[in-house]
């Protein structure tokens, strides 16, 4: 299987799922959406708050994440 529910892999899908469905995370993502590297800034902010993974256990800094797709998804939140 080359994709997971339309995303590059399960990790990217899971992170995107939580960003889109957790109100606090969604609102934070909207704030960072205008940054040059929105997802990296969001992940850094989460780490600074002691949050390192989704409730499903996917690390916000997982090496398999499709950062470009997450950036694009976050930018769409402000459209």
- pLDDT tens across the length of the chain (79 residues): 568 999 999 999 999 999 999 999 999 999 999 999 999 999 999 999 999 999 999 999 999 999 999 999 999 999 8
Answer yes or no: is 1 within a domain: no
Measured over the CA atoms of residue 34, residue 35, residue 38 and residue 41, the dihedral's sign is negative
| Number of domains making up the chain | 1
> Is 4 a member of any domain?
no
Q: Which pLDDT value is given to residue 1?
A: 52
**Per-residue pLDDT, 2:** 67
Q: Distance between CA 36 and CA 23 in Å, rounded?
A: 23
Does some domain include residue 2? no
Whether pTM exceeds 0.85 = yes
5 part of a folded domain: no
Classify the C-alpha dihedral 23-44-13-62 as positive or negative. Answer: negative
């Amino acid at each position: 299987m080359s994709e997971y529910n339309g995303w590059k892999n399960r990790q990217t899908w899971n992170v995107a799922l939580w960003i889109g469905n957790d109100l606090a995370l969604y609102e934070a993502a909207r704030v960072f959406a205008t940054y040059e590297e929105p997802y990296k800034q969001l992940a850094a902010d989460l780490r600074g708050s002691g949050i390192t993974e989704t409730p499903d256990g996917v690390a916000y800094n997982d090496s398999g994440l499709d950062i470009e797709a997450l950036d694009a998804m976050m930018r769409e939140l402000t459209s």
